[in-house]
Structure 1
Amino acid sequence: MIRTLWLLLFIVVFNSCKDISKQDKPIIQKPIADVFAEFYEFKKSINPIEATKAGYSKYNDTIANYISDDYILHLKDRYTYFLDELGKYDSTQISSEDYMSMRVMEWDCTVKLEGVMNPMVTVASPIYDLPSFELMPLFQIQSLHLYVAQLASGVSVQPFKSIEDYNNWLSRLDDYLIFLDTSIDKMKRGMDTGVVLPKVLTLKMLPQVRSFIDVPLEENLFYQPVLNFPDGLSDVDMDIITSNYAAFIKDKLTPKYEMLNTFLTEEYLPVCRDTDGLQDLPNGKETYQYLIKLHTTTNMNADEIHELGLSEVARISKEMDSVKNEIGYKGDLKSFFNSLRNKKELMPFSKPEQVIESFNAINNRIALRIDSLFNLTPKAGFNVRRTEAFREASASAEYVPGSKDGSRAGIFYVPIPDAKSYNVVHDEALFLHEAIPGHHFQLSLQQENTNLPEFLHPESMGVFVEGWALYAESLGKELGIYTDPYQYFGMLSMEMHRAIRLVVDTGLHAKGWTREKAIEYSLDNEAESEESIIAEIERYMATPGQALSYKMGQLKIRELRTKAEKSLGSNFNIKEFHSQILNSGSLPLVLLEEKINNWIVLQQK
């Protein structure tokens, strides 16, 4: 009888334990802050250049070989581990702020793990956290060989202030040479499996590679750091460093570029494809759908985004037509685009320095009104700088954040291939996007926010980062800098450019469009020059899906602002709305919408 009672008691306790295990989370072994810190250390280790950009010196001597098989296996293991760790927490155990950060981390790990499971895609690029195609690791824009050359100049994010810095860079370049070897191996595997670049992109890459072969030593970008030594180094140290850099360029770097050039020219180019879109590759359709999810943080498909793009192009065209009529132009919109491209009054410069001075003047005008829209402003400064010559022909304007400690200011890079043909029609909108209150504001505030875990300080979600910057362009009238219809038309042109991206990116990669059709569509609907449109279309060919993020993010932020204005009426505060958008770091759109909806409810109460 006693044994029976004990048996019954055991069964009751055992079943109770089973019920608890179903209902409760496992016992937490460490604070969520420790998981955040561990995740950020992992992110820096797999993106060492991003760590350098953020001001962390631990990884200044290395580059991740992010297309290697070992690297990809490491990603699978670690993303799985972190998802398991996050599964131990729920909203009742941590603060609402930490829970939001946890959900951002969970989204990041989930979508990146999905990416590394895809046989074509590797999603941890050391540059901008964009997807990199394992079998197509080099292309003509946003590619590691270009970013390394930018670092080599000595005026980018790679530090050159001490002997250790100079030695770190040579060590980092040794890793880069290994990456180039792996790239050739992977591209050969791509040649065997039909996963190769469009021929037109390879042709654009060849002069980039050759520019580091047929160049005198003192003009070589990789030699520039030894021509601009910092104060404090002895003559002996400078002589040793100079000798080491010269030997590296002559004995290692130049031969590697010669090998790469020979491979690209003689083996790779002849088998490159004549098609342009991702759907033409094995697993291309599924890969593109994944990239849509990665870059938009939505579950929309290519057809839905294509239709949204067509709708936005039609809406913006109507507004453009109104501004054209206000200016007094009698022709149709397409002929107006052509007149803008060639209007001498919009090309007032003769020297690149004048372009930079003009942007600085825009900055001074914005400063007079910025407090009317923002409570939150960053401490960090920034500089406007001309894009380096070696990448200027294929580059777009861009912003590179400063270091977290403020020792290095942010940089707004402006390509000026020909100052005399530089057109100013977009400049006000471009400054709002790249600098204030666009990327410089958002990314600097994100870095400076001590309430966020550090893994949320870098650039992160492109749909948020680029969506905010495009939304910032619309603030020009409120900031008092769209003072004539040409400047406002420039803003509409910038928005049109991003709306067109929804059409042509999906057209190229999901609907069978050719490069030529995408170029023609763009020329018909925007005022960009044919040269810049060609560069843009080829960018979309190289980085499928990334260009969707701008418009998708902007539309969501504008939608949330309109909802808040209608819901709160006279109680709506634009400064507080902008603070709510900017004070939680980069969020997936679903989490941003949830946050703003909750804020609206609280304001109503």
Structure 2
Amino acid sequence: MKYFALAFLSVFLLFSCQNKRETAANTPDNTQLATLFENYWEENARLFPLEATAQGDNRYNHLLPNSNTKGFRDSLKTYYQSYLDRLRQFERAELNANDQISYDIFEYEMNTQLEGLKHNTWMIPFQQFWGLPLTMGQLGSGTGNQPFKTVKDYENWLQRIEGFTVWADSAIANFRLGIANEVVLPKALVEKMIPQMESLVTKEPSKSLFYGPINNFPEEMASADRQRLTEEYKKAIQTKLVPTYQKLAIFLRQEYLPKARTSTGIDQIPGGKDLYNYYVKYWTTTDKSAADIYTTGQKEVDRIKGEMQKVKDQVGFKGTMDAFFTHLRNDPKFTPYKTPEEVLSAFKAIQSKIEPYLKKMFNQTPKTPFEIRQTEAFRAASASAEYNQGSPDGSRPGIFYVPILDATKFNTTSGMESLFLHEAIPGHHYQISLQQENEALPKFRRFSWYGAYGEGWALYAESLGKELGLYTDPYQYMGALGDEMHRAVRLVVDVGMHTKGMTREEAIQYMLSNMAISEEGAIAEIERYMAIPGQALSYKIGQLKIKELREKYQKKLGDQFKLASFHEEFLKDGTMPLRVVEKKMDNWADQQNK
């Protein structure tokens, strides 16, 4: 009788869960929850107007709040906590499936932001890789997110310049508090920041990067407006921008550099160990420990080494792997380009090659235009290839930026095909554009970013190379393996530097011994991980999760598994923490099975 009762209970629970799922599926969108999300996003745009500009929301293009103040941080704490409290007034189980996903993402986001505010990150306002002084250069050049189409647009930028001068003074004050509390950057990074600031100091305004919008007035702009704005921009460059960058450069050189630390890892600053654990969780959106990630990295390095050995044997190279790396770096046949235009044309050829295959793998493709551009000279020395998102309405294209310091040294074996798949199509351009174009999502999801999802997808996109007609050249496949090795090495060196006492020099050497990368390239990469701890973990952790899910569903669904459907389901709801996406994808697989 007892066993019958247990069996009856199991069947009852099974039907009960099924009924709940069906009820959730048939429940309409919760309008009150939608209003909560809309209100949150409206406040977010005012608090973070640069993000609004990047998303094509031009209402706040004149604003640049001082994010360096305690008052601003306190307002963020109130902001996140109040919305978390309001969210919890809803009964999650009574929401439909899409609203449940929104609930889970929003709750995760509020908790994560609140936890982040507990750390002393504000004592390091910027570094050589990210920060407002570099962003201002991109925006003010006239080639970035900041629009320069109308007189109002030009006046908006002048107001943002005013905000930047105030921000910079507060940044210096926060750096000084960091010095007092021993929360400082490593010397190697500060040495890179100084020339970045100095490069934006010019005696002649017309030679300034910030003169770009004046050189490119819209044809329809009246001559009187052109004349007035020209004078105002010259004055702003001479009296606001140049003095501000000069002040930052002098401070960094004379006051901050002597106090910068000689240690490598962030665990060497007060509170650094807890901060790194937070960064690991923030960037991977998992509860994986740094130690587990380090072990995963070592295993992936060993696996990829085996694949590289196969390529070396295939092309008949007789030396060691280190010798093969040297050959790939230095043989003149791998540096055939003479001009930046030739490099950009080679990337365009990759785009043309994969186009026939994309239709078989993707049911839905973006409407947002796409362009390939050379990275601006002022930031190229410290920049990696990157994708800058387009605007949702298509007025600004998604842009794949390629830094080309010297075209004659641009190496074809650096993984050009895999780089394009990652940064451009079907990597970041597909993922970000499809997300932004989906007006059915609340805005906090349309414009969200989770590195483990977004970078994980982009690295997964690299693994599609053979299915997209690429990697037929063994040297390009070696480049793809090099790119994957790059992400595996990151797990080892990032965790190693920030928790295991690995020095900058040891990390550079580890990278050089496992990759066909120049010493200059390895230094730039390692210093990036020093500047933004944990971010580099997101790529490989996300990719491994997506590969795991694909393999799981292929095994579970058999002939019912359709790769294009898998990709569509993964991408259509935008970025989210890995724990949320796995739950969503499991539900999708269950539906396919029915």
For the aligned pair, the TM-score class normalised by the smaller chain equals over 0.9
Aligned to 2:375: 387
- Between stretches 591-600 and 570-579, larger displacement belongs to 591-600
Correspondences of 1:45-444 after superposition (within 5 Å)? 45-118=46-119, 120=120, 133-425=121-413, 426-444=415-433
Corresponding residue of 1:453: 442
Q: Which amino acid aligns with 2:319?
A: G
Render the CA deviation track for 1:87-126: whole Å, top value 9, x for unaligned. 01123432211110121111111111111122x1xxxxxx
Mean CA deviation greater in 259-268 or 87-96: 87-96
1:46 Cα offset (Å): 2.4
Equivalent position to 2:524, from 527, 531, 535? 535
Distance in 2 between residues matched to 1:201 and 1:350, nearest whole Å: 31
1:575 Cα offset (Å): 0.5
SS at match of 2:546: helix
Cα gap change, 1:389/1:602 in structure 2, threshold over 3 Å: closer, same or farther?
Answer: same
Name the structure with the higher helix share. Answer: 2
Provide Cα deviations, 1:378-423, integer angstroms capped at 9, x if missing partner: 1111100000001101100000111011111110000000000001
**After the TM superposition, which parts of structure 1 deviate over 6 Å for at least 4 consecutive aligned residues?**
none
Deviations 1:55-111 (A, max 9, x none): 101110112322211111011101101111110112343221111012111111111
Aligned CA distance change for structure 1 residues 145 and 437 (closer, same or farther; 3 Å): same
Q: CA–CA distance in 1 between the matches of 2:67 and 2:495?
A: 27
TM-score if structure 1 supplies the norm length? 0.92
Report the RMSD for the aligned CA atoms in angstroms: 1.3
Corresponding letter in the other structure for 1:308: T
Counterpart residue number, 1:126: none
- Structure 1, unmatched stretches of 5+, are 1-27, 121-132
Contact 1:90 1:99 in 2 (8 A): no
Aligned to 1:559: 548
Q: Which amino acid aligns with 1:241?
A: L
Find the residue that maps to 1:411 and give its secondary structure: strand
SS of the aligned residue for 1:517 comes to helix
2:427, 2:192 → 1: CA distance? Answer: 30
Residue 148 of structure 2 aligns to a residue whose secondary structure is coil
Residue among 473, 492, 512 paired with 1:503: 492
Q: Report Cα offsets for 1:14-48 as digits up to 9, x if no partner.
A: xxxxxxxxxxxxxx996111011112122222221
1:165-211 Cα distance to aligned partner (Å, 9 max, x none) = 00100101111111111100000111111111111111111111111
TM-score of the aligned structures, taking structure 2 as reference length: 0.93
One-letter amino acid matched to 2:494: D
Amino acid at match of 2:559: S
Q: Which residue number corresponds to residue 10 of structure 2?
A: none
List per-residue Cα deviations over 1:444-489 (Å, max 9, x = no partner).
Answer: 0000112211111124111100000000000010010211111111
Instruction: State the secondary structure of the residue aligned to 1:134.
Output: helix
Q: CA deviation at 1:253?
A: 1.6
Equivalent residue for 2:589, pick from 555, 577, 600: 600
C-alpha distance in structure 1 between counterparts of 2:295 and 2:247, whole Å? 45
For residue 399 of structure 1, give the secondary structure of its aligned residue in structure 2: strand
Aligned counterparts of 2:320 and 2:417: Cα–Cα separation in 1: 25
- Find the aligned partners of 1:29 and 1:85 in 2 and give their Cα distance: 14
Query: Cα distance, 1:215 vs. partner?
Result: 4.9
Residue 365 of structure 2 aligns to a residue whose secondary structure is: coil
Deviation string, structure 1 residues 325-352 (Cα, Å, up to 9, x no partner) = 1111111212111110112222110000
Contact 1:446 / 1:457 at 8 angstroms: preserved in 2? yes
* 1:578 equivalenced with 2:567 (yes/no): yes
Counterparts of 1:559 and 1:215, CA distance in 2: 56
**Contact 2:37–2:444 under 8 Å retained in 1:** yes
Q: Deviations over 1:485-544 (max 9, x none)?
A: 111111111111011111111111111111000000000001121111100100000001
Contact 1:398 1:412 in 2 (8 A): yes
Query: CA separation in 2, counterparts of 1:252 and 1:155?
Result: 21
> Is the 1:443–1:459 Cα contact (8 Å) retained in structure 2?
no
Equivalent runs, 1:476-515 vs 2, <5 Å = 476-515=465-504
In the TM superposition, what whole-angstrom CA distance separates every residue of 1:225-260 from its partner, at most 9, and x where no partner exists?
111101111111101000001011111221222222
Alignment check: 8 A CA contact 2:161 2:236 kept: no
Write the distance in 2 (CA, Å) between the matches of 1:85 and 1:252: 42
Alpha-carbon contact 1:464-1:553 (below 8 Å) kept: yes
Deviations 1:118-145 (A, max 9, x none): 2x1xxxxxxxxxxxx2111121112211
8 Å contact kept, 2:385–2:400: yes
Query: Structure 2: how far apart are the matches of 1:499 and 1:99?
Result: 34
Whole-Å separation in 2 of the counterparts to 1:376 and 1:108? 28
Distance 2:330 2:215 in 1: 40
Equivalent residue letter for 2:522 = I
Select which of 516, 530, 548 maps to 2:537.
Answer: 548
State the distance in 1 between where 2:459 and 2:65 align.
Answer: 31
The answer to whether the Cα contact below 8 Å between 2:439 and 2:446 also exists between their aligned partners in 1 is no
Letter in 2 for 1:454: K
Q: 2:162 is aligned with what amino acid?
A: D
CA contact (8 A) 1:303 1:506 kept: yes
Counterpart secondary structure, 2:468: coil
CA distance in 2, matches of 1:215, 1:315: 54
